[in-house]
Amino acid sequence: MNLKKVQIELNISDVQQVLAIALDEDKEKALEYIKIRLVKQIEKSLQPH
């Protein structure tokens, strides 16, 4: 997989979730969010078009 700079868009729900994680300082929720949501978006961005 070739790495490159990616730009991802967060919907309102994602923004709310990120802000809630930051306020709660819940490391497990943060890691879960990264694994479930962000990684999928990043992998999709890295796929050849």
> Would you list the domain boundaries of the chain?
12-46
* Confidence band, pLDDT 50/70/90 cuts, at residue 25: confident
Residue type at 34 in one-letter notation: I
Structure pTM? 0.71
Residue 48 has what pLDDT?
A: 82
C-alpha span between 44 and 22 (Å, rounded): 25
Biggest alpha carbon–alpha carbon distance for the chain? 38
CA distance 3 to 5: 7
> What are 39's two structure tokens?
């990684």
Q: What is the mean pLDDT of residues 17-25?
A: 90
